[in-house]
Amino acid sequence: MQLLILRHAQAEPMIGDDAARQLTERGRAQVAQVCDMRADELAQVRAIWASPFVRTQQTAQIVAERLGLPVITQRLLIGDTPPQQVLDALQQAERESGNWPLLLVSHQPLVGSLVNGLCGSDGEHPMGTSSLACLSAEVWASGCANLDWLQHAE
């Protein structure tokens, strides 16, 4: 089973409410570029979960428009959620639905913790803005996944 993890694209500087930050034009272009580079792999996605923050919703919407899928807002995907809560939700989703591969759109430090934790690597796989990782596993637990590929924006 595959899980794709996308960090939101470049956002405007933080002035005030972090949750309200919007993507920059460069950020929009970067996520579109990553989508183009991994179009075949993204075409397999059956569900998109995204943090409620504006920049992640905008990032997820760029992908969703290409795939013809809705964006499902998941509060647990904000950046400071303990990774185990996300793993628990993934295990539940695996039991309850056939919506795999699943794409998560979220923030640091959560995306880095998920990718590196699931792969059992110690920060080996950096997740910059618009970075997209594809992992495979039989079970979503720490150290139980393989990194199939990691695509960074140019």
Mean pLDDT of 97-119: 93
Q: Which pLDDT band, with edges at 50, 70 and 90, does 93 fall under?
A: confident
Report the distance separating Cα 48 and Cα 68, nearest Å. Answer: 11
Q: Which pLDDT band, with edges at 50, 70 and 90, does 62 fall under?
A: very high
Mean pLDDT of 92-102: 85
Q: Which pLDDT band, with edges at 50, 70 and 90, does 53 fall under?
A: very high
Report the distance separating Cα 113 and Cα 79, nearest Å. Answer: 10
Report the distance separating Cα 33 and Cα 17, nearest Å. Answer: 28
**Domain count along the chain:** 1
pTM to 2 decimals? 0.96
Report the distance separating Cα 113 and Cα 60, nearest Å. Answer: 20
Q: How far is the CA of 122 from the CAs of 42, 66, 105, 117, in angstroms?
A: 26, 33, 21, 7
Q: How far is the CA of 140 from the CAs of 22, 87, 133, 145, in angstroms?
A: 31, 6, 15, 7
For 1-47, the pLDDT digits (tens) are: 999 999 999 999 888 888 999 999 999 999 999 999 999 999 999 99
In this prediction, residue 42 carries a pLDDT of 97
Q: How far is the CA of 103 from the CAs of 5, 55, 79, 90, 98, in angstroms?
A: 6, 16, 16, 11, 13
CATH code, 52: 3.40.50.1240
User: What is the Cα 2 distance to its own chain's centre?
Assistant: 12
In this prediction, residue 21 carries a pLDDT of 94
Report the distance separating Cα 59 and Cα 121, nearest Å. Answer: 26
- Contact indicator for 4, 127 with CB cutoff of 8 Å: no
Q: Which pLDDT band, with edges at 50, 70 and 90, does 80 fall under?
A: confident
In this prediction, residue 97 carries a pLDDT of 76
Q: Which domain holds residue 62?
A: 2-151
